[in-house]
Structure 1
């Protein structure tokens, strides 16, 4: 229970949120390049790349839904900051959450719409809410691809801001999530 309810006076995020943050970060840094490499994979292994990419993406979705649930019940610890900085940080965090849900949902639905049900890590077939739908498959694929590039930009902004706080401002911002 301590992982969820331990509100620290240091201004750090709760341990559960810190753990989930770093799991999602690791999964994104695995999943994103894997998705990019699919286009370059030989036909013999292309489906294997898809399977791992989609399975990891589906895992990101469920972890993100858990993170959203935690954040709705336990808000982030407050930190004094200028209003413009709070607005920028809040906007980037909100958009990160949005795209970390939108991207796996659009990828999952695109896969379904192209007629390929997700077999999660080759073990469990996940029910397809839309089935084969060629009319919307390419739209969903485009949303997924654009979301990936937007997410990459947001991650770069997020990392850049964390490094700015750590290296230039030399404040405790980075330690809040470590």
Structure 2
């Protein structure tokens, strides 16, 4: 759910007035950083518990690919955003209180690279979420199995 709040907020940041823009940047960055930690926790649980039983046909293969790409993108997205922010010269203070150490300082020559990665990953996540929803609907409406219920 955080992704559905952070993603559009990031897209709309350029439209905010300067007097409130930094407040919204702080929210976007702080919740994005929270997404990173939640995804790392989720990935750890997934690696420990394994994957639920799934099909061994093409649908199972597509499902596995989409899931791993979602994990990758949802971890890359906040990392690239965090590094872009730092490279632009704005260190993160998580929710305005906790300073977060960064492996890079102000590096204006590489900041655009991280920004492009961040933006491209945002669109990748949108595509992957659409594929995930399509997969859920496929299981619900075509296969009529219990996968959709398990996803809820």
TM-score of the superposition, structure 1-length normalised?
Answer: 0.82
Query: Does 1:102 pair with 2:41?
Result: no
Query: Hey, what does 2:7 align to over in structure 1?
Result: 32
Aligned-residue RMSD, C-alpha: 1.0
C-alpha deviation, 1:82, in angstroms:
4.5
Rounded to whole Å, the distance in 1 between the matches of 2:30 and 2:140 is: 34
Query: Hey, what does 2:17 align to over in structure 1?
Result: 42
TM-score of the superposition, structure 2-length normalised?
Answer: 0.96
Rounded to whole Å, the distance in 2 between the matches of 1:89 and 1:103 is: 21
User: Match for 2:47 among 72, 75, 79?
Assistant: 72
* Unaligned residue ranges in structure 2 (runs of 5+): none
User: Match for 1:143 among 92, 100, 117?
Assistant: 117
Query: Hey, what does 2:146 align to over in structure 1?
Result: 172
Rounded to whole Å, the distance in 2 between the matches of 1:112 and 1:120 is: 13
Query: Does 1:58 pair with 2:59?
Result: no
Rounded to whole Å, the distance in 2 between the matches of 1:164 and 1:46 is: 41
Query: Hey, what does 1:111 align to over in structure 2?
Result: 85
Post-superposition Cα deviations, 1:100-125, rounded to whole Å, max 9, x if no partner, equal: 00000000000000000111111111
* Unaligned residue ranges in structure 1 (runs of 5+): 1-25
